């Protein structure tokens, strides 16, 4: 499992769900394709609702991690692409429900002018480190 830390003397997360640094233990690195609010038929979940879309993107990520023996706590880094600055509180609230210190991932938020289709408001790109004892090779 990864260990996140926030050293004194620099700006801190101030209640937001991320760590300034993450030390990854031994395991298998899983690079996850960008996840958006698509269901199994590629239909958008939560049109116009960034919080609902963030929840679905995290849920999709959870399914991928579980297929390899992982959990959300195994995420060591996550890039979040979003469209509207006004959606940042919703994004942060959803993250706070799913990620807690000291296992919150290192993170970057990037505001972009658009995603793959206009209905999408947020996309996450996680990287996880699954401990060897839990890792299982997923079936395709």
Dmax (CA) of the chain = 48
Q: Kindly state the DSSP code that residue 132 receives in the 8-state scheme.
A: T
d(CA 25, CA 120): 34
Residues of the chain where predicted confidence (pLDDT) is lower than 70: 1-3, 6, 17-18
pLDDT number for residue 3: 66
Q: Kindly state the DSSP code that residue 48 receives in the 8-state scheme.
A: T
d(CA 55, CA 59): 6
User: Domain map of the chain by residue range?
Assistant: 23-130
* pLDDT tens sequence across 13-45: 777 766 777 777 789 999 999 999 999 999 999
- Confirm or reject CATH 3.30.9.10 for domain 23-130, answering yes or no: no
């Amino acid at each position: 499992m990864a260990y996140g830390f926030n050293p004194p003397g620099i700006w801190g997360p101030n209640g937001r769900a991320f760590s300034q640094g993450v030390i990854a233990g031994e395991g298998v690195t899983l690079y996850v394709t960008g996840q958006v609010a698509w269901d199994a038929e590629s239909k958008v979940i939560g049109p116009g609702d960034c919080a609902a879309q963030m929840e679905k993107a995290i849920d999709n990520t959870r399914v991928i991690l579980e297929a390899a023996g992982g959990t959300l706590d195994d995420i060591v880094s996550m890039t979040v692409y979003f469209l509207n600055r006004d959606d940042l509180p919703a994004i942060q609230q959803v993250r706070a429900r799913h990620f807690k210190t000291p296992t919150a991932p290192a993170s970057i938020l990037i505001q972009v002018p658009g995603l793959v289709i206009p209905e999408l408001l947020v996309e996450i790109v996680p990287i996880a480190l699954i401990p060897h004892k839990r890792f299982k090779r997923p079936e395709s």
